[in-house]
Structure 1
């Protein structure tokens, strides 16, 4: 394969992966978690692009691990941000549902979407053109990006090399699984030599990964409880990552305050939330998603916990103010 100026950065949680298009008009696709902005800048500089040179940031979707660096890059360097129009309207309206931040209890610093994208839009990087593909499922405003010359796909969290994006039936709708399948079917029609997803390594055999993802989703159509288990374990693991674990004595009170936990307990698993706490903890341990260390529940997946000082800000879109967007 010829040398590409599409540079892929595989990152540890809580940040999502990042892709830099090093061209006349440099573009950064996704910006990681908010606590990792210094690393985000350093990765770009090591690749030969300084933050002030960025022409545009493109977000595949608005979850905190993909948009967390937006605030820093927009406020300090005036970088424009592009996202699907459905995400953009929620973000720019400071809607409490933006980024699902309240429901997920994940901090996101304020940013503004400058360029609203829709299906089949094109993004010019100088010598390349990225095609915007609306691929809902993981979120309603989820997009993928396709570069036809090198046959490269940037798939966000629709599918990964050995996993699929978790589905939020409470915020994205119960049809999110059908949307995911339709999005995968659309991508399967493309000539794809290489794919980069939001988590995990690059995907050398994208069509095989798409087929595996589709098969898994189709099985879930008849086993909806698996959708919920897949989602809740990933949400709780991410919580344990950004909080650097939870002490045993604080877990009950914390979970009972979370919208995601209440919804999954009551509506997916038909339990009172108080009853479901131990069921979730047992499954986290059984599946290897978490383990106990000195009476603290810790996420097992490779990660680097955010600094307590950064997490103490606890900023959500309901806290955003218009002046936050001034640069």
Structure 2
């Protein structure tokens, strides 16, 4: 496969990275956050593929930063969506827990999964065949895509160049860490020349990145509190990104209203939620994940703030109608 056949888009938060496979039947892997949908469309047009030409969109998993553009493409261009069958069923049944969007308090417009994927399925793009690998851990239905001839891996949020995807013990189960290790072990047996993850730059040394991710997960087994810190800091940092910061006087009430915060406080740290608020804020500041700017807490990572009018709509799976999209 020519290098130009695979176009990697490294994106700022709140959107995840995307990969466009230019072939006889082009596919787009992941679509970013919903507020960035027009930018997603612009990016693939500039890469030489019109939305009408897309054979399908394939989602590595169903978090809002990866699937938020699905609605735009499906509504405007009739694009078919493919995802792992377990996540597809939650989405198509309009389950309020779909995409963990309710628990995370993340807006997400409705979409329908037209192709339910299973482990070892194949996606044919014309000159190449991509293998679907079920790689759970970050979510139960997380998948990776592998093209054996070109030795290319698209690994979503299983691991990154210098990080790993956060683990949701409350929605994915306490064995999420073992599933992540099993998924890494499976990928470690592949010949990989190029790897692209959901966040950060292209992975220059896939084998080393897998080993580093494995080492981190193994360390967490004996220090489970680190799993909780990794998760809750990333969730709240992401909240600060999509809300473009939060006024100091609003933080307490907001956190106390969130399912993720209640769960981490009570079950991971065995604290009353009110007690955990200053502890979390202090850790965000100490770690450099966030900072105060005129009594407003803001995320320190580079991001592109969503338009307020888009965020104010606050659509979540509990608001989806059964007949929203019938593709």
TM-score over 0.5 (shorter chain): yes
3-state SS in 2 of match to 1:170? helix
> Match of 2:77?
77
TM superposition outliers: structure 1 runs of 4+ over 6 Å: none
TM-score computed with the length of structure 1 as normaliser: 0.99
Task: Tell me how far 1:84 sits from its aligned partner.
Answer: 0.1
What is the CA–CA distance in structure 1 between the aligned matches of 2:76 and 2:322, rounded to whole Å? 16
What is the CA–CA distance in structure 1 between the aligned matches of 2:171 and 2:98, rounded to whole Å? 10
3-state SS in 2 of match to 1:153? strand
3-state SS in 2 of match to 1:275? helix
Structure 2's unaligned 5+ residue stretches are: none
- Does residue 1:129 correspond to 2:129, yes or no? yes
Task: Tell me how far 1:38 sits from its aligned partner.
Answer: 1.0
> Match of 2:142?
142
The answer to whether the 8 Å contact 1:75/1:326 transfers is: no
The answer to whether the 8 Å contact 2:92/2:112 transfers is: yes
> Match of 2:262?
262
What is the CA–CA distance in structure 1 between the aligned matches of 2:63 and 2:158, rounded to whole Å? 13
> Match of 2:119?
119
The answer to whether the 8 Å contact 2:112/2:326 transfers is: no
What is the CA–CA distance in structure 2 between the aligned matches of 1:145 and 1:10, rounded to whole Å? 17
> Match of 2:155?
155
What is the CA–CA distance in structure 2 between the aligned matches of 1:227 and 1:73, rounded to whole Å? 35
Q: Deviations along 1:225-275, whole A, 9 cap, x unmatched? A: 000000000000000000000000000000000000000000000110001
3-state SS in 2 of match to 1:82? strand
> Match of 2:233?
233
Task: Tell me how far 1:190 sits from its aligned partner.
Answer: 0.1
Q: Deviations along 1:114-152, whole A, 9 cap, x unmatched? A: 000000000000111110000000000000000111100
TM-score computed with the length of structure 2 as normaliser: 0.99
Q: Deviations along 1:71-130, whole A, 9 cap, x unmatched? A: 000010000000000000000000011000000000110000000000000000011111
Please give the residue correspondences for 1:277-296 in structure 2 after superposition, counting only pairs within 5 Å: 277-296=277-296
Task: Tell me how far 1:326 sits from its aligned partner.
Answer: 4.3
Structure 1's unaligned 5+ residue stretches are: none
Task: Tell me how far 1:2 sits from its aligned partner.
Answer: 4.9
What is the CA–CA distance in structure 2 between the aligned matches of 1:239 and 1:231, rounded to whole Å? 12
Task: Tell me how far 1:3 sits from its aligned partner.
Answer: 2.8
CA RMSD between the two structures: 0.9
What is the CA–CA distance in structure 1 between the aligned matches of 2:305 and 2:155, rounded to whole Å? 25
> Match of 1:61?
61
